[in-house]
Amino acid sequence: MSAYIALADGRVVEGRSRAPGTSRGELVFTTAYTGYEESLTDPSYTEQVLTFSYPLIGNYGVREERFESDGVTPRVAVAREFTDDVADWLASEGVPAVDAVDTRELVTAVREQGAMRCGVAAGPDATPEQAREQLDQCVGMSDHVDIGAQVSVDETQVYEGTGPRVALLDCGAKQSIVDSLTARGAEVHVMPYDSTPGEVAAREPDVVFVSNGPGDPANFEAAGEVVDEFAGETPIAGICLGQQVVARSLGGETEKMEFGHRGLNQPVRDLETDRVIMTTQNHGYSVADPGELAVTQVNVNDGTAEGLEGVDIDVLTRQYHPEANPGPHDSLDFFDDVLDMADCRTPAVASD
């Protein structure tokens, strides 16, 4: 069965349909060669067409215990070759899958022109025209103003623990973030992305934590309001989108990157120790101006901010994923540092 990918630059790439359907999204790529189950269930890929640069995806099967959410999150998955296990999984989720394409061509297009809109048609009756129709309906990531509603919990979920209480604003949180906190004894309250400061205060948190998530941080205004209300009173932490939201709330600015950082092999340098660590990343926006915060870590490849800190107001954030599931474990101590901040603060009091 045929499949077609219509790119915003006018090209149409033909491949093989491994799971039928039509869809659209922002074309991005990941350099990860393992962790395809985690990538395909990472909420940060919502509204995107995920292309794997590694040629064979599925060589160790599909196991639900590796999932980062309840199901597949990209709009479409693309690879040089999918195994039957992965293709069947994607088909069962209703997610179009395309392989037998030269993924080097797609990756090169994204690197040279930036992440771009695309449309996809796959299946026995698929045509290039259908793919172009999908492309015509595709909008940019910053236009998805309601994207948080697609990935967040509807009501607060509590994970019991005997340690510090963490109010985790779920902007598309990976399950491994929750697991990393509970493994250290934290009591984690996973809260809707649009929770008010009063709703967060009612949980009496020792730490307010803004999660990773998809899209433009400017579209997560409610989370920013929570940060603004609690900063200086209760420790604040953030990962990925969370770092961007925290920075914006504290006087900083963010910007869209050309093609982002996505993979298990991003080198990050700590400015204090000069140590370089390898990290797992998945983001298309970055902090251009840290505002009130200090940049403590930078990406070795392009110098973008990878870590921010506000010592006087107990703020600690990372642009990459310290939980690294799968991936390098160089930065797992981030979670220890976050929970250590809880020892010196009293929960803030706020109102709706």
pLDDT at residue 265, rounded to an integer: 87
* Same-domain pairing of 103 and 208: no
Our count of domains for the chain comes to 2
Secondary structure in 3-state letters for the chain? CEEEEEECCCCEEEEEEEECEEEEEEEEEECCCCCHHHHHCCHHHCCEEEEECCCEECCCCCCHHHCCCCCCCCCEEECCEECHHHHHHHHHCCCCEEECCCHHHHHHHHHHHCCEEEEEEEECCCCHHHHHHHHHHCCCHHHCCCHHHHHCCCCCEEECCCCCEEEEEECCCCHHHHHHHHCCCCEEEEEECCCCHHHHHCCCCCEEEECCCCCCHHHCHHHHHHHHHHCCCCCEEEECHHHHHHHHHCCCEEEEEEEEEEEEEEEEEECCCCCEEEEEEEEEEEEEECCCCEEEEEECCCCCEEEEEECCCCEEEECCECCCCCCCCCCCHHHHHHHHHHHHCCCCCCCC
- Residue ending a domain, among 139, 159, 181, is 139
Q: What is the pLDDT of residues 183-195, one digit of tens each?
A: 999 999 999 999 9
Q: How many whole angstroms separate alpha carbon 326 and alpha carbon 34?
A: 7
Binding residues: 44, 213, 215, 241, 244, 282, 284-285
Please report, in range form, the residues annotated as the binding site for L-glutamine.
Answer: 44, 213, 215, 241, 244, 282, 284-285
238 in the same domain as 202: yes
Set 118, 144, 240, 309: catalytic member:
240
Q: Are residues 283 and 162 in the same domain?
A: yes
> Are 54 and 195 in the same domain?
no
pLDDT score, position 331: 78
- pLDDT value for 343: 74
Domain span at residue 129? 2-139
* Pair 172, 126 in one domain: no
349 assigned to some structural domain: no
Q: What is the pLDDT along the chain (352 residues), one digit of tens a residue?
A: 899 999 999 999 999 999 999 999 999 999 998 999 999 999 999 999 999 999 999 999 999 999 999 999 999 999 999 999 999 999 999 999 999 999 999 999 999 999 999 999 999 999 999 999 999 999 999 999 999 999 999 999 999 999 999 999 999 999 999 999 999 999 999 999 999 999 999 999 999 999 999 999 999 999 999 999 999 999 999 999 999 999 999 999 999 999 999 999 899 999 999 999 999 999 999 999 999 999 999 999 999 999 999 999 999 999 999 986 777 777 779 999 999 999 754 444 443 4
Give percent of the chain above pLDDT 90: 93
Active site includes 240? yes
The verdict on 94 and 151 lying in the same domain is: no
Asked if residue 103 and residue 62 are part of one domain, the reply reads yes
Q: Is 130 within a domain?
A: yes
How many Å apart are CA 28 and CA 281, to the nearest integer? 13
Question: What confidence tens digit (pLDDT) does each residue in 32-44 have?
Answer: 989 999 999 999 9
Which residue, of 139, 159, 184, is where some domain finishes?
A: 139
321 is catalytic: yes
Q: Final residue of a domain: which of 104, 139, 174?
A: 139
Average pLDDT score over the chain: 95
